[in-house]
Chains A and B, each alone.
Chain A
């Protein structure tokens, strides 16, 4: 055995890149919410990008190392310590049997990603080990439960590249002025002109009500002229506006169909950024042309090939 969970913290879950091809069954996507940090953690160890990592939300997690290994940490800085030594994210590092790895509390960001050689071992359920509690699918025991005390994690490979860090140019940069690119679409034509102005010219504040299903934003009330809508499939990053006018950006554990009007959807890179924003963070939306967004997304993906 390899890592023993001594204190399970706020929320720690196993995630690979999620369930694909099952949305029509009502099954949630899952997968790491900051998929960019997750990819880098796997990349540092030479893993497949679909290898299972631990998504650590906010911290308070304590692990006992039971086998020497090289692990990788990317994403939020949750004040990680290996015994007394501080471990900053965006690097891989050696751990020795008997050491303790602690995640204290968030210094920057919300979710940290811990990768192990070859990925953590977990049963595949509908093609993925991503843990989605609401669907009762995935995770260490296949039932969707988050990691808990006394869970033991092992990994799939014995070899990994030597410890290294990402170059400064590889570490994701925060969008300028926290300006999140949006692909306009869906029911955007049904919003009032004033609401469209407000949507893209106001500052939005991340609410306390933020989890892996969605992030609620506070700001001016947006009004949609369409009162009733037939439920339809909803994509990752969709910006839905319920009747109180306060947008909710839908993340990886969103429901598969929904009946609230939407302004469009964040780009995948913007979703990853939003997943790292603590309540109180101020954001803006910025429209981006589809062709440009696709071009940028392909460039992003090319970093890992």
Chain B
């Protein structure tokens, strides 16, 4: 871990801790985030972790730039990565099917794995949550096997149904809400990812480890999934 602190707005500093996306970054980022929350206390407005960085927005009625930098250095001195407390292991059911995953067949033929091979490949790996963003509870996870990695669609779709599971390059994510989106869709999950009744609001948090469990249509529906086929518009 390194530490570069950059100004990005009047009350916001970016902490650059790593250069590359690595699963091993997350315990450090989580440990740093926890210490920063403690040290800044009510002087912290926002702390946004993402892959290699932490964005820190402070209350500039209580701190100036220099004082914020000193608190950051104080928080990150003698930091050790979180191990036991970092991230929970989550299992998320997914109905992998071409009727709800319009890119599943294409990824199957391009990779040479076939549909069943893509499902095995995607569901056998344990993924790390790197960041939340794009929409409430939208968790960027990775890294998917290079053989099924797929670039974003050249034209994003206007509507992607809630629960859709997608791949973009070596990342994977579930759309918590119906929204526009350009990821390659390979299935659908019945699990609610963002719920204001949920403790912490978002089921997935940065640092969580996630395994997708393939379920059949009947189980998907039993768990509350909507099996309306995805309409591929010409």
Instruction: Write the residues of chain A forming the contact surface with B, with a CB cutoff of 8 angstroms.
Output: 20-28, 125-126, 134-137, 183-186, 230-238, 255-258, 262, 264-265, 267-268, 290-291, 293-294, 297-298, 301
User: Judging by beta carbons under 8 Å apart, are B201 and A25 in contact?
Assistant: yes
Number of interface residues of B (CB under 8 A): 42
Residues of A within 8 Å of B177, CB to CB, are 135-136
A26 to B173, CA, bound (A): 13
Contact A185:B7 (CB < 8 A) given known A24-B132, A25-B202, A26-B133:
yes
Q: Is the CB of A290 within 8 A of B48?
A: no
Q: In the complex, identify which listed stretch (B59-67, B119-127, B182-190) lies at the interface while the others stay far away.
A: B59-67
Contact of B12 among A22, A25, A27, A235 (CB under 8 A): A235
Partner of B60, one of A230, A235, A258, A294: A294
Contact of B7 among A183, A297, A298 (CB under 8 A): A183
Q: In the bound complex, do residue B51 and residue A301 qualify as a contact, i.e. CB atoms below 8 Å apart?
A: no
User: Which residues of the other chain, A, contact B46 by a CB distance below 8 angstroms?
Assistant: 20-21, 23-24, 233
B137 & A183 in contact (Cβ 8 Å cutoff): no
Q: Which residues of A contact B61 (CB under 8 A)?
A: 298, 301
**Chain B residue with Cβ nearest A288:** B10
Q: Which residue of A lies closest to B200 (CB)?
A: A25
Could you list 29 examples of A-B contacts with CB < 8 Å? A20-B46, A23-B47, A26-B132, A26-B133, A26-B194, A134-B179, A135-B136, A135-B177, A136-B136, A137-B196, A183-B7, A183-B10, A186-B6, A230-B50, A230-B51, A231-B140, A232-B51, A233-B54, A234-B55, A235-B9, A235-B12, A255-B135, A257-B50, A257-B131, A264-B7, A264-B9, A290-B10, A291-B64, A293-B10
A258 to B21, CA, bound (A): 15
- Expressed in whole angstroms, the minimum distance between the Cβ of A286 and any Cβ of chain B is 14
A233-B9 in contact (CB<8A):
no
Distance, CA A116 to CA B6, complexed state (A): 41
Question: Which residues of chain B from 19 to 62 have a CB within 8 Å of any chain A CB?
Answer: 21, 45-55, 57, 60-61
B8 at the interface (CB under 8 A from A): yes
Measured between C-beta atoms, what is the minimum distance from B175 to chain A in Å? 11
Bound-state Cα–Cα, A76 to B97, Å: 51
Q: How far is A267 from B7 in the complex, measured between Cα atoms in Å?
A: 13
Residues of chain B with a CB closer than 8 A to A290's CB? 7, 10, 65
Complex: chain A residue closest to B20, CB-CB: A230
Contacts of A291 in B (CB 8 A): 64-65
B87 contact set on A, CB distance < 8 A? none
Report the bound CA distance from A234 to B133 in whole Å: 10
B201 touches A126 (CB 8 A): yes
B212 contacts partner chain A, Cβ-Cβ < 8 Å: no
| Contact flag A235-B57 (CB < 8 Å), given A26-B132, A257-B134, A267-B10 | yes
- Nearest Cβ in chain A — how far from B54, in angstroms? 8
18 extra interchain contacts, Cβ-Cβ under 8 A, other than A23-B48, A186-B8? A21-B46, A22-B201, A23-B46, A25-B194, A25-B202, A26-B133, A26-B134, A26-B135, A27-B136, A126-B196, A126-B201, A230-B21, A230-B50, A231-B51, A237-B9, A291-B65, A297-B60, A298-B61
Q: What residue of chain A has the Cβ atom nearest to residue B13's Cβ?
A: A185
Q: List B contacts of A27 (CB < 8 A).
A: 136, 201
Most buried by B among A134, A238, A257: A257
Question: When the two chains form their complex, are residues A236 and B138 in contact, meaning their CB atoms are under 8 A apart?
Answer: no
User: Would you call B144 an interface residue if the criterion is a C-beta within 8 Å of the partner chain's C-beta atoms?
Assistant: no
Interface status of B225 (Cβ within 8 A of chain A)? no
Closest chain A residue, CB of each to CB of B47: A24
Q: Chain A residues near B9: list those with CB within 8 A.
A: 183, 185, 235-238, 264-265
Report B182 CB to chain A, min CB distance, Å: 13
- B116 smallest CB distance to A (angstroms): 32
In this complex, the member of B11, B194, B196 whose beta carbon has the largest number of chain A beta carbons within 10 angstroms is: B11
Complex Cα spacing A239 to B223, Å? 43
State in angstroms the CA–CA spacing of A77 and B131 once bound together.
41
Are B132 and A256 within 8 A (Cβ)?
yes
Closest to B193 in A: A26
Closest 10 CB pairs of A and B: A233-B55, A233-B48, A257-B133, A235-B9, A265-B9, A185-B7, A26-B132, A235-B12, A232-B53, A23-B46
Q: Tell me, rounded to whole Å, the shortest Cβ–Cβ distance linking A44 to chain B.
A: 22
